[in-house]
Structure 1
């Protein structure tokens, strides 16, 4: 088996490694969604969960809540509206503002998902993260990393030392 370049490069490729892990986890969640024949993708669940937790939200609030781009949220909302899981309402004070709401079908999907799929996902991910060392809490480490990035981005930290110019 060839060496894992991404793992071997350590901190240099940490972003790629985290993305790879996220992709693998999301892919397995999608397999479970497909087995259950649910009308949603694994990438859409965080948006639906935000609406379930916080109620009606604007596109901007959804962007902030789930941390993806405005065009990505808009595409996702459009797809979810076509499947009947959310509805889009125009704001009364500002006609340009759009509010996204779970429909009855969306509420039913979330309620069903909480009872079945979500608890299995949570247990499976917890098993993966703690297997071999139940005292390790990756969520605490991720919180710390995110706080550190908020305090000072990678680019800002890189610029503590002037970047060398590429050879001409």
Structure 2
């Protein structure tokens, strides 16, 4: 059997292991989208989904909602605007504020993708159940612990 250094490293490779898991799941979902003939990428999902009900939201609020940096959300928004899935406009009271909402094309795509998202959710739920652990609760606890004390602070206090 080949050596798995990531497993050998245990918690020292926590970030790498989470990143690898994320990439593995995203790769499979990307293939599902492709096989379903949707021009859609997993990295667009959270921003797209946040707007699927037709709400117009400021980019700054979206970045807080999605717990992502402003530049990261802005980058995805730019792609979705270019693809015609999102419309943007400046806030009349504050021209620095960028407001986003799904275009008609985006709303139509969201409606078409809803059944597939339901299947993906069911598959995720099944996967989490098979793990015999409450991964989502554990992840939330780790996130809250990092909110209280960053990894940088933890390393410095050692």
TM interval, shorter chain, is over 0.9
- Normalised by the size of structure 1, how large is the TM-score? 0.87
Residue 154 (structure 1) aligns with: 151
Q: Figure out how many residues of one structure are paired with residues of the other and give that number.
A: 158
Residue 17 (structure 2) aligns with: 17
Contact 2:54 2:101 in 1 (8 A): no
Give the whole-Å Cα distance in 2 for the aligned partners of 1:97 and 1:3.
51
Deviations 1:132-164 (A, max 9, x none): 63xx21111111111111011111111113xxx
* Higher-Rg member (1/2): 1
- Normalised by the size of structure 2, how large is the TM-score? 0.92
Residue 77 (structure 2) aligns with: 77
Contact 2:55 2:101 in 1 (8 A): yes
Contact 2:90 2:98 in 1 (8 A): yes
Residue 107 (structure 2) aligns with: 107
Residue 55 (structure 1) aligns with: 55
Which stretches in structure 2 are left out of the alignment for 5+ residues?
A: none
Q: Secondary structure at the match of 1:34?
A: helix
Instruction: Report the Cα offset of residue 61 of structure 1.
Output: 1.5
Deviations 1:65-98 (A, max 9, x none): 2233322222211111121110001111011211
Give the whole-Å Cα distance in 1 for the aligned partners of 2:144 and 2:53.
23
Contact 2:54 2:107 in 1 (8 A): no
Residue 130 (structure 1) aligns with: 129
Residue 26 (structure 1) aligns with: 26
Contact 1:89 1:100 in 2 (8 A): yes
Which stretches in structure 1 are left out of the alignment for 5+ residues?
A: 162-168
Contact 1:63 1:70 in 2 (8 A): yes
Give the whole-Å Cα distance in 1 for the aligned partners of 2:135 and 2:28.
19
Over 4 Å off, 4+ runs = none
Give the whole-Å Cα distance in 2 for the aligned partners of 1:48 and 1:110.
8
After superposition, the Cα gap between the structure-2 partners of 1:132 and 1:22, relative to the gap in structure 1 and judged at 3 Å, is closer
